Each structure stands twice: as C-alpha cells, then as structure tokens.
Amino acid sequence: MNGIHNPATVTSAPDCRNFSDALERLFAFAVTVGDYMQAGLVARGLTRARATVVWQLHRHGPTTQRQLARTIGVTARNVTALVDGLEESGFVLRRPHPSDRRAILVQLTDTGRAVTEQLGADYAADSAQLFADLPPGGVQQFLAMLDTLMSRLTTVGQDRTVP
C-alpha cells in the first residue's frame, strides 16, 4: 500500500493475483478520474458542488432552491450559498416562481447553458476517445466489472460503519 491513492506510484504491470495490487490500481484510477473532472471544472470556473447544481438545472430546467437542495442532497443553507456563488459568477439567475409567490426559481443564464453544452460535448468526445478502440464487448465487460466492484465497495463500507 505504499502508493495508496497516488497514481504516480502505481506500477504499470501490477501482480493481479495480489488483490491488494488490484485495489491499489482501482484507487489510483479513482484519483486520476477525480483529477480529470476537477481540471475540466476549474477551467470553466466551477467547483464540483457548483457543477452539480448547474447540471441539475441543465437536465431539469428552472427549479426552486428547495427542490435543488433535495435533489443534490444538501441543506437549504448550503444550496443558497452555491446559488449565490453561481449567480455572482453569471451561471444562474433567480426569478419569481410564476405560480407560488413565496418561491424563487433558479435557472441557467446563457453563460450557464453554454458551459453545460461545452461540458456535454467534451464528455462525449472524451468518452469516445477512452472507449472507442476497445475490443468488441469491452465496454460492457468494463461496466459489468465496475458495477460489481461498486456494489462490493458499498457493502464493505456499510460493514465498517460505526453504529
């Protein structure tokens, strides 16, 4: 576990008979994916939390802050801070709800829409670059393996929670 979560220290050919090496490679992969995501967001002036709000608005259209908080699993105070920051940076705006005068809708601005469209285009191009030349059935095998590992990691994590 010398290289824990550090992709630079993982050898190019781990001994996969050693399950610890396989887990180390998986952790290194997670770090690399996180770094990839972070770089794309930072280049566009977003944090992961703010990007989550922007994506929800992109997918579902204008919504209330209360619904945003429920959807992304944060407190009302937290979503208010996120929306404040996004509004200050020009990604979203608030407007009165058309049928509930107590509620405020949050919606993407033209800048917010342009950023989400570019992120979507980059996502499609990057996924094609990563997976296009895999052998037939390779993507399905990869997804099946990931599903299995994520399920097992969830179980392991639940087994370790303190009551």
Q: What is the pLDDT of residue 18?
A: 80
Residue 105 has pLDDT above 80, yes or no: yes
Could you tell me the two tokens for 30?
Answer: 């997670």
What is the chain's alpha carbon radius of gyration, rounded to the nearest angstrom? 20
Cβ atoms 26, 16 nearer than 8 A: no
Q: Which residue has the tokens 């179980």?
A: 155
What pLDDT is recorded for position 16? 53
Q: What is the mean pLDDT of residues 44-48?
A: 92
Residues 108-124 have a mean pLDDT of 94
Q: Which residue has the higher pLDDT, 16 or 134?
A: 134
58-94 core/surface letters (b: 16 or more CB in 10 A; e: else): beeebbbbebbbeeeebeeeebeebbebbeeeebbeb
pLDDT digits (tens, 9 = 90+) for 4-39: 555 555 455 555 568 888 889 889 999 999 999 999
Q: By the 8 A CB rule, do 86 and 50 touch?
A: yes
H-helix or E-strand spanning residue 106: strand 104-108
What does the pLDDT average to over 105-124?
94
Query: CB of 19 within 8 A of CB of 26?
Result: no
Mean pLDDT in residue range 58-64: 95
Domains and CATH numbers, the chain: 1-43 (no CATH), 48-115 (1.10.10.10)
Contacts of 80 (CB under 8 A, 6+ apart): 65
Residue 95 has pLDDT above 90, yes or no: yes
Low-confidence winner among 2-6, 26-30, 44-48, 111-115 (lowest mean pLDDT): 2-6
